Amino acid sequence: MKTATRLERIPPYLFAEIDRKRDEAISRGVDIINMGVGDPDRPTPEHVVRAMHRAIDDSSTHNYPPYKGTKAYREAAAAWFERRFGVGGWNPDTEVVSSIGSKEAIHNTFLAFVDPGDLTLIPDPAYPVYRTATIFAGGEPHTMPLLAERGFLPDLAAIPEQVAQRAKLIWINYPNNPTGGVATLEFFEELVHFAKRHDILVCHDHAYSEMAYDGYKPPSIFQVPGAREVAIEFLSCSKAYNMTGWRVGFVIGCPTGIQGLGQVKTNVDSGVFKAIQHAAVAAFETSEADLQALMAVYQNRRNIIVDGLRSLGWPLEAPRATLYVWAPIPKNYQSSAEFVTALLDKCGIIVPPGNGYGANGEGFFRIALTVPDARMREAIGRMEAAGIRFASL
């Protein structure tokens, strides 16, 4: 029995491989500090859990949900979006659709818009699903390098005209995973003009819309004129409200994008459990004070890691957003894989190699701010004890 040939083009999922290495190390008795996956360690807010309890006791939530989400959920999502970004007037029936987190919606968007032989414009380094979903859809990915000297923004002018003419989708993700880069409204304006000129759907993975520090508030692409004609934006409860396991979010934007995604979804899933949609509505009502209290936890962790790495010689700027610190590997290591293997073997620390996010991630590694403060300090202490510094003394 033989699997489909498309699977031969897809490497093992990065975080599945990290889990395998973690389990092997634990079986050897290693005390692992796992800063690999961006899975918040804080509990889901109590008011969200209470809403779930109430909803799950209501038998009217036990049947099939509407494929595109309940009307109450879609209206609540649109209202949250208007409060957060100041952009309203959304039609919940044609411009909003529920999602099972963001991952499935991202994948299904490729199925909705990419035919065999079509090109997709994807950032590099980036969330690996953009590349694998292109391959599943039969398309060909064209990578847009994200370089530190450009603030990890793609150079749209460097995309060849013949590539742009064949592209169906362009993917962006700001605040950015894995680099922590952020986008300006000026960049979004340039992107909207590019998309209109080449008839491309802009897909903005906005999973980290609320994960920001030092008073920074990440913008939406819909804050620039014309975006509603060419873009869709993916938002998720996973990171901001500590709901990674709940698998709920929404996609908002131009009706063509929402209709295409919704048509795929009606054929491959049966929607989000109604009780979870009730809980997500409660999450949307989280106060700004409560949200910023949570962000203060991650900001403090960011400071621990950045200050700790600086003490070991790393030249780092503190990221303004996301759950991650993106850092160069020490000068005496030849590759990202070599360095993260050394961290595991010498220190019992798990972090992903930068090249797991694409060729332009080589030479970097990513630290997730998802372990308690004390364990982060211990990780820095283990590195110091093992003599791991950015440059040899």
Nearest Cα to Cα of residue 356 among 22, 36, 119: 36
User: Domain range for residue 204?
Assistant: 46-284
- In a domain? residue 179: yes
pLDDT band at 190 (very low <50, low <70, confident <90, very high): very high
Report phi then psi at 203, rounded to 5: -120, 110
Average pLDDT of span 87-108? 97
* Spatial contact of 37 and 368, defined as CB atoms under 8 Å apart: yes
Verdict on whether the full-model pTM lies above 0.85: yes
Residue 376 pLDDT greater than 70, yes or no: yes
Same-domain check for residues 128 and 262? yes
Domains contained in the chain, number: 2
pLDDT band at 14 (very low <50, low <70, confident <90, very high): low
pLDDT of 13: 64
Residue 393 pLDDT greater than 60, yes or no: no
pLDDT of 375: 97
Q: Residue 220 has which token pair?
A: 């939406």
pLDDT band at 7 (very low <50, low <70, confident <90, very high): confident
Same-domain check for residues 158 and 50? yes
pLDDT of 20: 77
Same-domain check for residues 138 and 106? yes
Same-domain check for residues 52 and 158? yes
- In a domain? residue 391: no
- In a domain? residue 73: yes
Name the domain boundary from 264, 284, 304: 284
Q: For residue 126, give the CATH number of its domain.
A: 3.40.640.10
- In a domain? residue 90: yes
Same-domain check for residues 280 and 303? no
- What is the distance between the alpha carbons of residues 225 and 228, in angstroms, rounded to a whole number? 8
Nearest Cα to Cα of residue 173 among 161, 186, 188: 188
Average pLDDT of span 260-286? 97
Residue 21 pLDDT greater than 60, yes or no: yes
pLDDT in tens, 144-185: 999 999 999 999 999 999 999 999 999 999 999 999 999 999
pLDDT of 9: 83
Q: Residue 111 has which token pair?
A: 């199925």
Name the domain boundary from 259, 284, 309: 284
pLDDT in tens, 290-302: 999 999 999 999 9
Same-domain check for residues 194 and 227? yes
pLDDT of 37: 85
Mean pLDDT of the chain: 95
Residue 379 pLDDT greater than 70, yes or no: yes
Q: For residue 322, give the CATH number of its domain.
A: 3.90.1150.10
- In a domain? residue 393: no
pLDDT in tens, 115-133: 999 999 999 999 999 999 9
Same-domain check for residues 70 and 12? no
- In a domain? residue 367: yes
Residue 271 pLDDT greater than 80, yes or no: yes
DSSP-H helix ranges across the chain:
14-27, 46-56, 71-85, 103-113, 129-136, 161-166, 185-198, 255-268, 274-284, 288-311, 336-347, 373-385
pLDDT of 25: 79
Report phi then psi at 99, rounded to 5: -140, 155
Beta bridge partners, 252, equal 96, 233
Q: Residue 70 has which token pair?
A: 């309940």
C-alpha distance from residue 349 to each of 236, 249, 363 (Å): 28, 31, 18
pLDDT of 10: 80
Cis peptide preceding 178, ω within 30 of 0: yes
- In a domain? residue 107: yes
Same-domain check for residues 257 and 310? no
Same-domain check for residues 152 and 16? no
349: three-class secondary structure by DSSP: strand
Average pLDDT of span 173-198? 98
pLDDT of 331: 87
Residue 15 pLDDT greater than 70, yes or no: no
Same-domain check for residues 205 and 350? no
Beta bridge partners, 153, equal none
Name the domain boundary from 284, 311, 338: 284
pLDDT of 148: 94
Same-domain check for residues 171 and 83? yes
pLDDT of 22: 76
As a three-state string, the secondary structure of 85-120 is HCCCCCCCCCCEEEECCCHHHHHHHHHHHCCCCCEE
Residue 28 pLDDT greater than 90, yes or no: no
- In a domain? residue 60: yes
Same-domain check for residues 72 and 162? yes
DSSP state of 321: B
pLDDT of 244: 95
